[in-house]
A and B are shown apart, each in its own frame.
Chain A
Amino acid sequence: MTVPEDFKTRLKIAKSKIKKDISDDKEKRGSFMGNAFKLGTELVAAVIVGTIIGFIFDSWFDTKPWLIIIFFFLGAAAGMLNVIRAANRMQKEK
């Protein structure tokens, strides 16, 4: 199949336009909002998981309130770790 010369030049112009569009911040704004949605639950989920682990261990070892308290704080620490990691990743993407 022969591609006419005129079409080739038009394709070149279109390709360079696409490159310009990608570097525009319009596309990036979407992923920023995605990041914002991500961070909130990241923090909460680790606290929930930590508390559940503490609750299960408590009923295993019969140490009623203590392990749930300890694992609550460990879960909070894990949540902060998650958020810090996500934030670092966001900075790297920039």
Chain B
Amino acid sequence: MANNPMQQFTVHKIGPEIKIAGVDLSFTNASLFMVISASIILLFLFFGSKEKKIIPDKLQLIAELFYTFVAKMISDTAGSKAKPYFPFIFCLFMFVLFCNMVGMLPYSFTVTSHIIVTLIMALFIFVAVTIIGFIKHGFKYFSIFVPSGVPAVLLPLITIIEIISYLSRPVSLSVRLFANMMAGHTMLKVFGGFVVSLGILGGWLPLSFSVALTGLEILVAFLQAYVFAILTCIYLNDALNLHH
């Protein structure tokens, strides 16, 4: 059914089926759009940084804008200790942003509207941040679960709450991105369906809504990438500088 608003999220195979050791590794439309987003980023940054002019042209200006934006975000939230992690956070931000933005094009597929994609990214961040914390602080990193200045009676309870709060990080990180993208695209499709079903007389109102929602969705696409990256910075800050 072309009118089904959830139909845009179906994953289907492109090309032959590839099975390695019983695991289905076929190339799907999700993989295709990940490759497209990644290659757009690579091409854009390659041509943006090819000619290093003192007075930059448009492409170089945009590339430098992204660089300073992420660099400023990291130094503001996680301090100078987080500088070595700049490449990782920059990659993450650019990938999420371009997946969201490529998903805004008609007939395209939004990779970030699938929870498995966002959950894997969030779990990777969660595990990486925990490992970094243990490398930097050793067993003292457990003190993140024990806030200072709590009476001894309440300590076990507070510790359990702190552990739940820590474990909820990957869930909130992934669900936020996935839910925002999926809800937005479903809404766009539903209003698009109204335009068709109401015809030329009544279709103008949902059409104007659709236009407004497209603008909102582009804002959300950028904001979610920003939030994803800034929360990674905040978690990194917690791991690098204990108790702040």
> Footprint of B on A, CB under 8 Å?
30-31, 33-34, 37-38, 40-42, 44-46, 48-50, 53, 71, 74-75, 77-79, 81-82, 89
Q: Which of A38, A40, A79 meets B168, CB within 8 Å?
A: A79
Is the contact region of chain A dominated by helix, strand, or loop, or is it mixed?
helix
Q: CB distance A33 to B234 under 8 Å?
A: no
Report how many residues on chain B are interfacial, defined by Cβ distance under 8 Å. 24
Chain B residues whose C-beta falls within 8 Å of the C-beta of A31 in the assembled complex: 226
> Footprint of A on B, CB under 8 Å?
157, 160-162, 164-165, 167-169, 171-172, 175-176, 179-180, 219-220, 223-224, 226-227, 230-231, 234
Q: Which residue of A lies closest to B167 (CB)?
A: A49
Top 6 nearest A-B pairs (CB, nearest first) are A45-B172, A46-B168, A78-B164, A78-B165, A45-B171, A41-B176
Chain A residues whose C-beta falls within 8 Å of the C-beta of B224 in the assembled complex: 37
Chain A residues whose C-beta falls within 8 Å of the C-beta of B226 in the assembled complex: 30-31, 34
Q: Which residue of A lies closest to B73 (CB)?
A: A31
Q: CB distance B180 to A48 under 8 Å?
A: no
Question: How far does the alpha carbon of A41 sit from the alpha carbon of B157 in the complex, in Å?
Answer: 23
Q: Which of B172, B220, B223 meets A42, CB within 8 Å?
A: B172
